[in-house]
Amino acid sequence: MVGLVAVCHSRALARAAAALAAEMLHGRPVPIEIAAGLDDTTFGTDAVAIAAAITAADRGDGVVVLMDLGSAVLSAELALELLDEGPRDRVVLCPAPFVEGLVAAAVVAAAGADRREVADEALAALAGKQSQLAAPPAADADPASGTPAGVSATITVTNHHGLHARPAARLVAQLREYDADVEMRNRSTESPWVHASSFSRVATLGALRGHEIEVRASGPQAREAVDQVMALAARAFDEAATAKPAATVTRVETGAPVLVGQPASPGIGIGPAWQSRPAAPDLPDLPSRGQAAESRRLEDALAAVRRDLQRIRAGTARDAGETPAAIFDAHLMLLADTELLADVRDRLAHGLPAPQAWSAATDRIAAEFEALPDPYLKARAADVRAVAEQVLRALLGLPGAALPAAGVLIAADLTPAETAGLDPDQVAGVLLAFGSRTSHAAILARTRGIPAVVGLGTAVLDVPAGTQVAIDGGTGEVVVAPPEPVLARFRARDAEQKSHRERARALASTPAATRDGVPIAVGANVGSPADARAAAEHGADLAGLVRTEFLFLGRDTAPPADEQEAAYREIAEALRGRRITLRTLDVGGDKPLRYLPTAAEENPFLGVRGLRHSLEHPLLLAEQLLAIVRVARDVPVSVMFPMVSTVPEVIRARQVLDDAIARAGGGPPTGLRVGIMMEVPAAALKTAAFAPYVDFVSIGTNDLTQYALAAERGNAALAALADGTDPGVLRLIDAVCRGAGDRVAVAVCGELAGDETAVPLLAGFGVRELSVAPRSVPTVKEAVRATSLGHAARAAAQALSLADAAAVRALLAAAPGDQ
């Protein structure tokens, strides 16, 4: 009997496809081996594993190998090189559709067909679907291309920087979901047709804003594919509006130029400026070890870089959100680009060693970007070279590129990986030409305690290396080559801030109360057990928000209740018995789960997310609540439902919670409290209607602000607008506190809670719990202690009548903490 091997990037997908195929065999077993994933959770393919699977599946009649996409083909071909000549001759690499092909191949293999018949049947596996859907017959081929004529359309690019890397990655990712052969050409430049399934080819169309792009497709889902392209183009390929750098004010202070940008991470930084980057590694002049060995080297390097990028992407998504994390999607797609890998494979076949083959192929793509007329698209060559260098270093066994010596780092922008690699003991500060306070670089700089100013404009890039620079990340001031009197003032300011932080750290574990003696709990927002340990070290009174998504994202199956319970207990133990507030799963259109595919949404921020998503998947919610109830038997636990809009949603969620309590047995846990996130303006205005069903509400000021001001929080162009101290947002906070009354406690767990200058405002409205980043706990407690509640209440009332956030912040600056 012919054996089958399923080669797939995802182990879960391969197992499911094999199980589906086995369902069709009715007791007639067929050898089906799986060579998929690098482990249970890491995508990738491994040639050695494929060779072993072929050997296991071969019962003497040969083996048919089916592959899913991209580097799976390269890995399968390498696997053949690892086999002896006899077994190798009995193997057929079949380009059939993965799932349909595997099912069809299993059926005919069970009937005793030979390997060629099995492969042919797998190739024809789409015939039934094509017939059922009445797919249009193939027409005459276009003389300029081998793609048959079919459905076509013309779109206009509206993206500010054209169809560059990120929108191109979005396009390619979407089109890969369709069974269609899609090509594109730039009508405006009369470019040649390129396959839309190749990320690098699409990006090199040089499509600028206003260019017309022709699209044509053939195949069973040609119409759906073209419709998807048109829909993506209509919404600018889901790319947020691109920001111009904030206006930079330049003045002269005692003879020294002063740049003023956006304050992004508080603190004083003084040191020499540096912008240098390490030189690219040299290619060794060594001969090829043979195509098989060099292919194996390349596979190993790609897998290593892929794992690293996936790790960084997951961390960035957790810490900074999906918008900045999406930059890694284009990087990951480049690693799997079929055309790039085919080019490398061809060079390996012609005797080049892997480093030279990879370098030459990526240099070609980078050169094509650099040849484009648009400056922004030309600059994308740097992205290609950055990813290429990562792989090259892995190929050569070199460590990652190290950052230069101590000082103030100046850059146009920083990637999450670069920011995460900064050493706070070496980097005195960060100055960025672009970006915003809500950018990934700024958020990560704050979490690492590195002073930062962003949005300074390109003038900052002209600061010579080695020039002394003084920055204030709390005010946005940057002084270049400061004279001694200016340096003295910055040093005095730094000493004062350090003294303040030291006093705060000394009292971090002491509960905070206002000058009037009103206690205000200061908790921490955590997203992992490590965060919980940091929260305890910084004196957090509780975990005011536990983002449970860390258990659900980046995997192929949902975590069972036992696994969740263990993770929640680990967080509780780290906080030494303090209350933990477990927010139920907050995912949806903008944060999809791999194992719960959802329909595409034109605006995922207004789609099926938060509690809406959980109620659509009640079994998932039931398992999570069961784990939470079990933990609540032993430690104080609050369960919090996110993105609530209506009272019926809360009633349904409480019913699922009651069921979980019944399943756990023993009645309701005595320390269990139930609350909701206030992130939707309509919900905030009807807080009194929710009051009978909850013990507390927690205001998520990040989402509340973006919805109230129609300003997406990750959009750098709207950074100045998306300010939680806007009087409109403050009115919503005031409405929540009034609607909650005396019975329902009010907390704030959004970014505004960590803004020390805003603490008096929140206290004045009636907020009695703040939840912030772990390292901010001590200083926020100090801000509470400096607040006079009577003055704060009067300032809060006054702030509601002001015109904008700037006026509110001016009010707060006039008498900080003593309003």
- The answer to whether the beta carbons of residues 653 and 611 sit under 8 Å apart is yes
What the block records as the tokens of 402 is 């190290």
- The whole-angstrom separation of Cα 572 and Cα 579 is 8
What are the b/e assignments for 200-226, b being 16+ CB within 10 Å?
A: bbbbbbbbbeebebbbbbbbbbbbbbb
Is residue 350 among the annotated active site residues?
Answer: no
Pairing state between β 268-274 and 468-472: antiparallel
Long-range own/partner contacts, residues 144-149 (CB < 8 A, 24 or more apart): 144/192, 144/193, 145/183, 145/193, 147/181, 147/183, 147/193, 147/216, 147/218, 148/181, 148/218, 149/216, 149/218
Q: For every residue of 396-462, which 3-state class applies, written as one string?
A: HCCCCCCCCCCEEEEECCCCHHHHHCCCCCCEEEEEECCCCCCCHHHHHHHHCCCCEEECCCHHHHH
Q: Beta-carbon neighbour count of residue 506 at 10 Å?
A: 11
Q: Please pick, among 8, 94, 737, 749, the residue that the annotation labels catalytic.
A: 749
Q: Beta-carbon neighbour count of residue 276 at 10 Å?
A: 10
Query: How far from the centroid of its chain's Cα atoms is residue 60's Cα?
Result: 47
Taking the CA of residue 689 as centre, how many other CA atoms within 13 Å lie in the half-sphere pointing to its CB?
A: 14
DSSP state of 720: T
Is residue 331 among the annotated active site residues?
Answer: no
Q: Angle formed by the axes of helices 381-396 and 354-370, to 10°?
A: 170
The set of residues, in sequence order, having a beta carbon less than 8 Å from that of 674 and lying 6+ positions away, is 638, 639, 640, 654, 657, 693, 694, 695, 696
Q: Please pick, among 9, 161, 164, 440, the residue that the annotation labels catalytic.
A: 440
Q: For every residue of 232-248, which 3-state class applies, written as one string?
A: HHHCHHHCCCCCCCCCC
Residues in the chain, overall count: 819
Pick the closest to residue 74 from 265, 269, 301, 250 (CA basis).
301
- The whole-angstrom separation of Cα 660 and Cα 219 is 48
Pick the closest to residue 32 from 8, 52, 54, 61 (CA basis).
54
- The whole-angstrom separation of Cα 399 and Cα 458 is 31
- The answer to whether the beta carbons of residues 159 and 235 sit under 8 Å apart is no
DSSP state of 281: P
Q: In what order do the strands lie in the sheet with 468-472?
A: 249-253, 256-260, 477-480, 468-472, 268-274, 407-411, 427-432, 452-454, 262-265
DSSP state of 218: E
What the block records as the tokens of 10 is 């995802």
Residues involved in catalysis:
440, 749
